[in-house]
Amino acid sequence: MATLSDVKHLIIDMDGVLYRGDEPMPRLGDFFAFLRERPIPFRLATNNSMSTPQQYVKKLERIGVEVSPEEILTSGQATARALAREHPAGTRAHVFGSPALREAVEAEGFTLADEDAAVVVASMDPDVTYEKLTRATLLIRGGAQFVATNLDPTRPTHEGLVPGTGALIAALETASGIKPRAIGKPEPTMFELAMREMGAGPETTATIGDRLDTDMLGGRRAGLTTVCVLSGSSGRAEAEAFGPDYIFEDIAGLLEAWQKSLDGREG
């Protein structure tokens, strides 16, 4: 674990950390100004595979934060990049998921296919149909590698928790009898990819997140310093029971402690 003043790179979750819905967290602009000034390179990493990096850039722009598409890493991109390291360009891949996921898989050199696919990349599909479940099941049963962007069972909406990626993956798993390989949090793969892209090592990289079972567990598995903020889905008692390296109310609290730790060292 690194003390805050030794942290050189960040892997940051977005929902529940930088914003909730369309509401920016307190001192969001100051937080990014601090990262740019140090500078602390970062990746904004999300298990959500339904939006493209460009869509996240626009969302952040609306709440006053300027980032580049290269600074965003979705689970769909992480999955496509991890698979591209193992398969030659042009490998046929079937996508069970959103248009954003199709775009991510195609961007890494795969040929999208509904037949004779070597890989099935599966994720959340808000337009899921029985026919789509059938197609993916037949390909997996036929021997295609079964890879899931992540296994989050639910996703939060204003109505409550609704079926997430993991719920759809479970249907494919039940029908095919095959367990998928998962890439997103809490697997270390996405964290390792983000670090490789930044030229970072685990001993000086911290991850900031609001979920214990994905952000904090994944960060711990990847050997990072773990920073939990209580502005999203975790309460203080459960966070303390899990025991991340740092717990703050929100990024404003983190920023204050980080600046203090630097003042102590540089002042």
Give one DSSP letter per residue of 25-76, joined into a string.
PTTHHHHHHHHHHTT--EEEEES--SS-HHHHHHHHHHTT----GGGEEEHH
Residue 152 as a binder of Mg ion (CB under 5 A): the answer is: no
Residue 84: CB atoms within 10 Å: 17
Query: Binding residue for Mg ion (CB under 5 A) from 125, 210, 245, 250?
Result: 210
Please identify, using beta-carbon distances, which residue of 173 and 215 lies nearer to Mg ion.
Answer: 215
CB 256 to Mg ion: min, Å: 21
Catalytic residue among 15, 152, 210, 215: 15
Q: Is 15 an annotated catalytic residue?
A: yes
Query: Binding residue for Mg ion (CB under 5 A) from 4, 13, 77, 216?
Result: 13
Residue 186 as a binder of Mg ion (CB under 5 A): the answer is: no
Of 54, 100, 52, 45, nearest in space to 73 by CA: 45
Please identify, using beta-carbon distances, which residue of 16 and 218 lies nearer to Mg ion.
Answer: 16
Residue 16 as a binder of Mg ion (CB under 5 A): the answer is: yes
For residues 105 and 112, what is the distance between their CA atoms, to the nearest angstrom? 8
Q: Tokens for 158, please give them.
A: 């204003």
Please identify, using beta-carbon distances, which residue of 23 and 37 lies nearer to Mg ion.
Answer: 23
- Residue 21 Ramachandran class (φ > 0 left, ψ -120 to 50 alpha, else beta): left
Please identify, using beta-carbon distances, which residue of 19 and 258 lies nearer to Mg ion.
Answer: 19
Q: Are 188 and 222 in contact (CB under 8 A)?
A: yes
Q: Tokens for 217, please give them.
A: 């567990």
Q: Is 13 an annotated catalytic residue?
A: yes
CB 43 to Mg ion: min, Å: 14
Residue 250 as a binder of Mg ion (CB under 5 A): the answer is: no
- Per rule CB under 5 A, count of chain residues that contact Mg ion: 5
Give me the active site residues, please.
Answer: 13, 15
Q: Which residues here bind Mg ion, judged by CB under 5 A?
A: 13, 15-16, 210, 232
